[in-house]
Amino acid sequence: MNQPPVSLRSPSPEGVRPAWGGPTPNMLTLALSKGRIFDDTLPLLKAAGIEVRDANSRALILPTNRPDVRVVLVRASDVPTYVQHGGADLGVAGLDVLLEHEAQQGGAPMLRPIDLKIATCRLSVAVRKGFDYPAAVRQGARIRVATKYTGLARQHFAAKGVHVDLIKLYGSMELAPLTGLADAIVDLVSTGSTLKANELVEVETLLPISSHLVLNPVSAKLKREALQPLLQTLREAVPAAS
């Protein structure tokens, strides 16, 4: 009478793969963020023979023309987390996001074998026009800085011997000096037109920024054979430095 319980764990390879399309053992999962990183990475992938499908759908997991490669779409600042913890084998993230992640988490730096030279900009300090920045950053002085990059800003001002009161913001950093919330901001600058439109001036550059390929350290070892040719073609697809 009693039926034996139906096993949910079929030993067959088909059964091991979850219905929602989880990874097969040799699948490579690439984490990208929508926007400029996605747009600028597509041509590099194409040069490496990988074409992303359904890019305009609302799906968060996108297949490619290669059955062993898929793309997951995550928030730009979540790419290091996905890659570090194995939610993705590899990913593309701005150096700003990578170094801020490392500054927050501590621990070993992430593996970043390729500078893709896309989404280039710089991480800079900006202040209101007329603000005496050299006086504000004299040794032992105190400055109020608003930024999304609190880890990198802390390191920067500590290295100068300046006391810094950090104010964490998530957007529209330009408003902080204009409203008296902060003396300075640390933010990304590309053309400088946003600063100019808000009567701010760039006074110091912390870092030149571009997006890098990052690798999960376990995948780098266990999936080495699948990763090596992909990394090599991506390396060749990166335009030579001009």
Handedness of CA 87, 88, 93, 96 (dihedral sign): positive
CB 29 to ligand ATP: min, Å? 19
Each residue 97-126 as x (binds ligand ATP by CB under 6 A) or -, in order, gives x---------------------xxx-----
- Cα of 90 vs its chain's centroid, Å: 11
Residue 213 touching ligand ATP (CB under 6 A): no
For residues 198 and 128, what is the distance between their CA atoms, to the nearest angstrom? 8
CA neighbor of 68 nearest in space, from 50, 45, 90: 50
Q: How many residues does the chain have?
A: 242
Among the listed ranges 16-24, 29-37, 82-90, 229-237, the one in contact with ligand ATP (CB under 6 A) is: 29-37
CB 236 to ligand ATP: min, Å? 23
3-state secondary structure of 137: coil
Total residues binding ligand ATP (CB under 6 A):
17
Residue 35 touching ligand ATP (CB under 6 A): yes
Per DSSP, 173 falls in state T
Burial class (CB in 10 A: 0-12, 13-18, 19+), 220: middle
Residue 177 touching ligand ATP (CB under 6 A): no
CA neighbor of 117 nearest in space, from 214, 227, 241: 241
CB 228 to ligand ATP: min, Å? 26
Residue 190 touching ligand ATP (CB under 6 A): yes
64 has which bridge partners?
52
Residue 94 touching ligand ATP (CB under 6 A): yes
Among 55, 103, 188, 201, binds ligand ATP (CB under 6 A): 188
Among 69, 76, 213, 234, binds ligand ATP (CB under 6 A): 76
Nearer to ligand ATP among residue 137 and residue 153 (C-beta): 153
For residues 86 and 81, what is the distance between their CA atoms, to the nearest angstrom? 8
Binding interface with ligand ATP (CB under 6 A): 33, 35-37, 75-77, 94, 96-97, 119-121, 188, 190, 209, 211
